[in-house]
Amino acid sequence: MTKQSPPTVALIGNGEAATAFVSGWQSEAGDIRSRAFDIDPARTQTRSRAGALDGAQLVFSLVTADQARIALEQAQAHLARGALVLDCNSCSPDTKRASAELVAQAGGRYVDVAVMAPVRPLLHKTPLLISGEHAGAALPKLAALGMKARVIEGGVGAASSVKMVRSIMIKGLEALAMECVLAGTKAGVEAEVLDSLNRSMPEMDWGNRAEYMMERMTTHGIRRASEMREVVKTVHQLGLPAHMARAAVDWQQRAGEMQIPAPETAPRRTRQILAALSNKKESR
């Protein structure tokens, strides 16, 4: 497939995902022009949404799940006609379909995007699934940016369904790992528990895996909780109970609210988590 010249790119939201994508684009092809708007003044590159979106034919929405539809409502009046809007937020299919209507009303072309792995270290080469009527039009644009996207059959909601259902396992496993390690530590048997898990499933390397998962939760738990609320909606929309997804919401939110610095060592992080849980219990 022949790569097209990269267009001017607008980004709604300038957090971890946006900065990772831009960093990757610039390292591979420094001539890519990007403009980012964020509601956090410390993150935004432009003074207004209108300034970021003016004339942009490729727009990435990269906010938290709870702000995804709001962000597009606020951007609606500033979208260029025919602009491809790539909604990369972790939302339920119904939320994505509602957002697609907003973009269509503004004369834009909406693409459902699921980001299928952490954006670091892969940056702009993080695998993406895309779906919807305009996914085919978006594919060469993403290729021009050096991005790794694959079209999944189905309308808006198909790509996000994969992400939402996958997150039951990925984010739920993080919550299970934290509860297991904390309980093991409190009981004084953490090493024995991890050793037993490694004997049962040696490919998992449970000590390092649990350490990584707990760091992800304490660093990004609030954002992950927002995503898991969308997972709960997805499961309910499928007519199923969402007990595990709902429990993951609680653990992700609790972990994120602790504000434990990412560089902490595993033993110290575990102690801080237990202390935070104890302090919260005592404050009730």
Q: Which residue do the tokens 């040696």 mark?
A: 202
Same domain, 139 and 13: yes
Q: Do residues 96 and 134 share a domain? A: yes
- Residue whose tokens read 């390292």: 27
Q: Is residue 110 part of a domain?
A: yes
Tens of pLDDT, residues 11-26: 999 999 999 999 999 9
Inside any domain, residue 4 = no
**What would the pLDDT profile of 168-207 be if each residue is shown by its tens digit?**
999 999 999 999 999 999 999 999 999 999 999 999 999 9
- The answer to whether residues 239 and 267 belong to one domain is yes
> Is 179 found in the same domain as 263?
yes
- Domain-embedded: residue 1: no
CATH of the domain at 30: 3.40.50.720
Helix extents (H) in the chain: 16-28, 49-53, 68-75, 93-105, 135-144, 158-187, 190-200, 206-237, 243-257, 266-283
The residue among 282 and 28 whose pLDDT is bigger is: 28
Task: List pLDDT tens digits, range 201-243.
Answer: 999 999 999 999 999 999 999 999 999 999 999 999 999 999 9
Better pLDDT: 283 or 58: 58
Q: Specify if 232 maps to a domain.
A: yes
Q: At 151, is the secondary structure helix, strand, or coil?
A: strand
Q: Is the pLDDT of residue 96 over 90?
A: yes
Let me know whether 80 and 196 are in one domain. Answer: no
Clarify whether residues 137 and 212 are in a common domain. no
Distance of alpha carbon 34 from alpha carbon 51, whole angstroms: 12
Residue 152 shares a structural domain with residue 163: no
The enclosing domain of 200 has a CATH number of 1.10.1040.10
Q: How far is CA 25 from CA 134, 150, 174, in A?
A: 22, 18, 30
pLDDT of residue 32: 83
Mean pLDDT of 136-156: 96
pLDDT tier for residue 1 given thresholds of 50, 70 and 90:
very low
Please say if the pLDDT value at position 55 is more than 60.
yes
* pLDDT over 70 (residue 131): yes
Position 30 in a domain: yes
Residue 214's closest CA among 176, 183, 164? 176
Mean per-residue pLDDT, 128-152: 97
Same domain, 232 and 140: no
| 154 secondary structure, DSSP code | S
With a cut of 90, say whether residue 7 has pLDDT above it.
no
Residue at 2 is within a domain: no
Contact between 124 and 115 under an 8 Å Cβ cutoff? The reply is no
Q: Is residue 29 part of a domain?
A: yes
Same domain, 149 and 167: no
Of the residues 91, 121, 156, the one at which a domain ends: 156
pLDDT tops 70 at residue 284 = no
68 and 192 together in one domain:
no
- How many domains does one find in the chain? 2
**Residue whose pair of structure tokens reads 């004084």 in the numeric block:** 188
**Residue 237 neighbours by CB under 8 Å, 6+ apart:** 92, 93, 94
CA angle 192/198/204 to nearest 5° reads: 140
Q: Left (φ > 0), alpha (ψ -120 to 50) or beta: where does 123 sit?
A: left
Which residues span the domain enclosing 199?
159-283
Q: What is the DSSP letter of 202?
A: G
The confidence score (pLDDT) of residue 5 equals 54
- Please indicate, yes or no, whether residues 52 and 24 belong to a single structural domain of this protein: yes
Residues 6 or more apart whose Cβ sits within 8 Å of residue 254: 221, 277, 280
> In this predicted structure, what is the pLDDT of residue 29?
67
Given 94, 121, 156, which residue is the final one in a domain?
A: 156
Mean pLDDT of 83-100: 98
Q: What is the token pair recorded at 137? A: 């039009």
Dist CA 95 CA 28 (whole Å): 33
117, 224: one domain:
no
Taking the alpha carbons of 249, 252, 254, 257 in that order, is the dihedral positive or negative? negative
Last residue of a domain, one of 110, 131, 156: 156
pLDDT surpassing 70 at residue 95: yes
pLDDT > 90: what percent of the chain? 88
For helices 190-200 and 206-237, angle between their N-to-C axes, nearest 10 degrees: 80
pLDDT band at 263 (very low <50, low <70, confident <90, very high): confident
| pLDDT for the residue numbered 264 | 78
